[in-house]
Structure 1
């Protein structure tokens, strides 16, 4: 990362000059600036993801490949539990890069997402300087806003860490204000710190933005990204996902869970299950030594897949009424 600052450095006449500094030099952070490996094709990327137990279709593999090749953020939208967050985690493992996650929520602001100043350390520094007899107020003020007192939040950490995968999770839960300063980061991978200048990533992070579509995200943010809508997997793919992630599950049981999950998604439920719930359900059944998903076993383990009391009776009726 490069920091461009008007306050760092002096000319022979004592006037400020503009300089650019590598962030590693300022922060004492050692990191590689080599770009992450880039698979040669969407198929090659899909194979790498599958090696890490993430199975995706051609559309998702292509969107992910293009995001890597074009250096654009990937905006993933879809219902909860379809694998949006898991893709970012798996992509980080494939690239051998750290995952930096920003979990969005209502009221998220710049001090929690971008950076903040370490006020307690600044006060300690000020008191120590005063105790040592320091009298240069301008110098003290400059020292208080030195880079060592800057607390890097997820967005700034992603710019400082190269390579890295930045996951902006559930952006639809955040406010419009958050989207506004996220645009600056995703636009040219810079962060403006008034006291220091503009911080720019030497190597931009790989960015994955997810949304459950609880509200519409502004077009300006989506335009910065490549967009892909994630559907629930079809029956065969869901069985394959279950078997890949839970090899102790019998083929018959994996098929029964996948078929039951599809039935529940078609029912009038408050919270239909995603793939994550299918995996939880299968894991619970395997832990109980179940070989079949019969009505009694389903009733005992339904808490692994349905999270609302109102959905329990509806779910059992959808699964077993008429048998």
Structure 2
């Protein structure tokens, strides 16, 4: 990061939307509103929605736009305190104990204060997020919280309430300035109401065709205009099909990029069949679309675009 202090927070909903747009993130008015309020009220923002709709990207572009560090806690089943918060550097502690014993040091209290000191403390994402100096508070992304268990959720509830962590051997570490917290979930399970109540909530849905076309134009500037229109229209229709996993915006961008790399200027059945792996991630979905249903969707897309001029 370049400066000693972060850039000022946006002072209006329009400023918030412009801030995100400066990083090529096109936010809906409702998302810009809730993000502005979360920043103004210093509350965590809880973003829920299907995978690939841009929840994680909110934290990334916000950190970049505000010139703040991004600290990411990637959640998974079995995530514990030592991986998420802190742990002690045991090999270094053992070495210090042996060196103390070899030098003849016998004072237990002095030895404990030496081994349980800052130099042996390994700060994991939660502790890193609350340890930043005032004026440089990071954007703290807690990604895919629904992958963890309820025990970790309960611990996180305490952290988000007071922005402090107590380490029995060391003491309590409090945030000089609370981080900007973005929590995401793909809703594979329900997160407890107690945690949601401490946050502002927003459901991030799929963009409409106009917005998605603008996203593709920004993210894949080399994409042929007609191809971009066909790609977006095709993906929009795919999301109406009963698939195991609908393609997200990230997949739309990947597909448009792949087709551009192949120098395609329009969709055809063979190209779609050959590149579906960049758009769909389950074989059952791919097999279904490679058949007659995919051809039917392409026909509908071309007819609608032709009618629209």
TM-score by length of 1: 0.88
The structure 2 residue matched to 1:126, chosen from 91, 97, 105, is 97
Taking the aligned partners of 2:8 and 2:110, their CA distance within structure 1 comes to 45
For each residue in 1:242-297, what CA deviation from the matched residue of structure 2 results, as whole angstroms up to 9, or x when unmatched?
00111111221111111111111111211110000000000000100000011111
Distance 1:313 1:321, change over 3 A: farther
How many residue pairs were aligned?
Answer: 292
Structure 1 position 321 matched with structure 2 position 305: no
8 Å CA contact 2:6, 2:67 repeated in 1: no
Alpha carbon RMSD of aligned pairs, Å?
A: 1.4
Question: Does 2:167 align with 1:193?
Answer: yes
Q: State the Cα distance separating 1:35 from its structure 2 match.
A: 6.2
Compare 194-203 and 226-235 and name the one that shifted more.
Answer: 194-203
Equivalents in 2 of 1:40, 1:282: separation in Å? 35
Q: Distance in 2 between matches of 1:306 and 1:158?
A: 35
Residue in 2 aligned with 1:300?
A: 274
Q: How does 1:202-217 map to 2 (within 5 A)?
A: 202-217=176-191
- Partner-residue secondary structure (3-state), 1:266: coil
2:208 and 2:294 map into 1 onto residues whose CA distance is: 18
Q: Is the contact between residue 6 and residue 66 of structure 2 (CA under 8 Å) also seen in structure 1?
A: no
Q: Is 1:178 matched up with 2:178?
A: no
1:321 is paired with a residue of what secondary structure?
Answer: helix
Query: Does 1:145 find its partner at 2:119?
Result: no
Q: How does 1:21-36 map to 2 (within 5 A)?
A: 34=5, 36=7
Could you tell me whether the CA contact under 8 Å between 1:268 and 1:314 is conserved in 2?
A: no
Among 47, 50, 53, the residue aligned to 2:18: 47
Unaligned runs of 5+ in 1: 1-30
Contact 1:267 1:315 in 2 (8 A): no
Q: Does 1:218 align with 2:192?
A: yes
**Structure 2 Cα separation of the partners of residues 249 and 140 of structure 1:** 64
**Conserved 8 A contact 1:269-1:315:** no
TM-score by length of 2: 0.92
Q: In structure 2, how many angstroms separate the alpha carbons of the residues matched to 1:117 and 1:141? A: 13
Equivalent positions of 1:1-323 (< 5 A) are: 34=5, 36-161=7-132, 162-316=136-290, 317-321=292-296, 323=299
1:138-174 deviation line (CA, Å, top 9, x unaligned): 2112221112211100000011123211100000000
Per-residue CA deviation, residues 100-142 of structure 1 (Å, 9 max, x unaligned), is 0000000001111111111011001111111111111221122
CA contact 1:243–1:254 (8 Å) conserved in 2: yes
Determine helix, strand or coil for the equivalent of 1:244: helix
